[in-house]
Structure 1
Amino acid sequence: METLDIKINKMKQYINTKDISAINKLKLSVIKDNNKYNLNEDDFKYIDEYNYYVKFLRNLKRYIKSNDKKNIIIKEYKDNLDRLMYIIISIDINTISVGIPVNIQTLSGSKNKAYMECVYYQYKERSSLYINNFRAIKSKKGYGRKILINLKDIIRDINKVLKENNLKEVKIIEGLLVADENIISEKDLRNLYKKYGFIIDNQNNISINL
């Protein structure tokens, strides 16, 4: 019988390799209180970590299934607790709406997450990514910050997909600063944007050149 630490390492390998086909075949279940008696004593210290990675992979399977018609970019990072996590990007190249929806979000085994809902617009003189909505489930968990600190790197990968589809690269990110006061104050959100290089005008328009 495999110990939990061995199972955890196997799940981490799947996450590292990003082998979606193999991940979709996995059958995973969290360890609940009523079935802990099946474990060896040494396994108890790994239960929380094991459940985290099970939930991570299950969340990933659901995400891929619901976005299977879109271009998907997966980027691996670590969260504030040194656990593996993804920033995952979907680009709906084949949309029939004005602009191309681009969604950026954190994906992990935690209920906490951040997401940035954007639209790509191509103009004659330039192309831009407009942020329609930037939210975190809870503040000060590091997920929104994780997106912002890696945003230019994320845009480089988005630009690769755009170029492959004969579209212009994103040269500027724009949006409107709107804080959900139940999660973060406008002052704190303003400071967060400024910390990562955004310019904010007196009408709360935000922008950053790439």
Structure 2
Amino acid sequence: MANSAPPPPPATPSPASKLVRIIAVVILALIVLVGLAVLITWLAVKPKQLVFRIDNASARDFSLKNDHLNATFAFLIKAHNPNGRISVYYGPAEVSAAYDGQTVAFNTLAPFRQPRRNVTWLAATLVARDVALPRDVSTDLAVQKKSGNIGLVVRMKARIRFKVGIFRLKHHTLRVSCSPVKVRMPLFKNFETTTCDLDW
């Protein structure tokens, strides 16, 4: 009876496969280390949510004729950075005012930097110039004007970047929505502060 052939020797990994395995291990270790560094930094910094609110809003030169709106809206926006170790860089901020889902005024604010534990006041002047409105919206707006204030939705959109120590983090798009903002007519002095919702 013929003897069976001996089993082949185990295959020796090629140098190329060893190199690929080493590179994979190194990359995985780097990912873990970076993740731990980010987590530790995040816990050390203890980031807090930015806070926005509108402290004043008024309208002047308000005119509503033939379903066309002309007005100048002035908003005083309070931006609060409560963080003790994070400063914020804001790009140009787009600010708009809408009534019943329709944008009626728009403006862009200049870029600014907000230091740590800082309150920055933003004065936004938005002009509505011959804005055409649907008849029902125009009628409702006229009724609100007679009551002394107009309920608007004020939105702000800006590209922001956080700075922690010497590190600058990636850009985010910040969206701020404030509603309802009771814009007062010149003869009416009372204003209710409006808090804002944030999304990024």
The interval holding the TM-score normalised by the smaller chain is: under 0.3
Could you state the TM-score of these two structures normalised by the residue count of structure 1? 0.24
Between the two structures, name the one with larger relative contact order (CA 8 Å, sep ≥ 6). 2
Higher share of residues assigned helix: 1
Instruction: Tell me which structure has the larger Cα radius of gyration.
Output: 2
